Amino acid sequence: MKKTLLAVAVAGTLALSNVASADTILGITINPGDFLQIGTIWEGSLSTNGTGTIQATGEQLVGVGVVDVIKDADGNVTWASRTNGVYLAFYVDSHITQAIIDPAPAGPPINVLFSGGAAHFYQLNAAFTPVTGDYAASKAIIAAGNLFLDVTGGTSRLCTAADACIGGVGTAVTLDSTINSGNLGNIGSASGSGFLNVTGAGAADSILNTNSLIGGNDMVLGSSFNSGTATKGFGASGSIDIRGEVVPEPATLSLLGLGLLGLGAMRRRRNS
């Protein structure tokens, strides 16, 4: 079910519909309607300052990344890195490893469940490149910018007895990752998915706080990652994809409502 609802990737676009005029916030343009945001991410465990992968429950997943472009629903770029002399970078933190489900005999797929989590997107005046093998220093560079978007992990499901989460049955799962090849220490290919909720702290949060997804969540994220050589000293790297809706202008609310009703009807037809 998670694969149907979600998607995780870090490497390059924010797609939005153009039903109304665009908003430019801190020099970054986004359009009302649905959007897609993709960027590159480097991640690892907090205990290793990002250089190692998650190895055990209780460890915290952290990472840093960049957003490359924003596109409208037709694939046209509305903002690209360096446009208006600004850049978008982010750091993630607070994802607590709740369970590592490794089937017998041990090997992929290996399911890793996380609770909590947050992502903080900042507008910068210079291109961001992570400090090799140093999460703390990389995060400090990003956090010196202007907070553009701030989100926390949203609940996608609750831990069951079979999951054996350290927080117990009923713990909210906010990030669900699967290692499809390799192992915890050497990830060949992996994917992750989860929900996000806008906190209200970022400059663009007001137009992204829609509560429009399952459970009242604002956004859905998906990622793909591995422990390849191009990790800049981090335990893993890959791409991240974040989708949600931009709050439309008042004049477009009725039009958007009709569109959502149409989408609902299409989904009901497909499910039947």
pLDDT at 102 over 50: yes
The H-assigned helical ranges of 46-151 are: 135-143
State how far the alpha carbon of 41 is from the alpha carbons of 27, 88, 145, 168, 186, in Å: 22, 12, 18, 30, 17
What percent of the chain clears pLDDT 70, i.e. is strictly above it?
A: 79
User: CA 131, 135, 140, 143 torsion: positive or negative?
Assistant: positive
Interior/surface letters 149-161, b for 16+ CB within 10 angstroms, e for the rest: bbbbbbbbbebee
pTM reported for the whole predicted model: 0.83
- DSSP for residue 131: P
Virtual CA dihedral for 82, 42, 95, 138, nearest 10 degrees?
A: -60
Identify the band that residue 256 occupies on the pLDDT scale cut at 50, 70 and 90.
Answer: very low
* Per-residue pLDDT reduced to its tens digit, 146-158: 999 999 999 999 9
Virtual CA dihedral for 162, 163, 168, 171, nearest 10 degrees?
A: -120
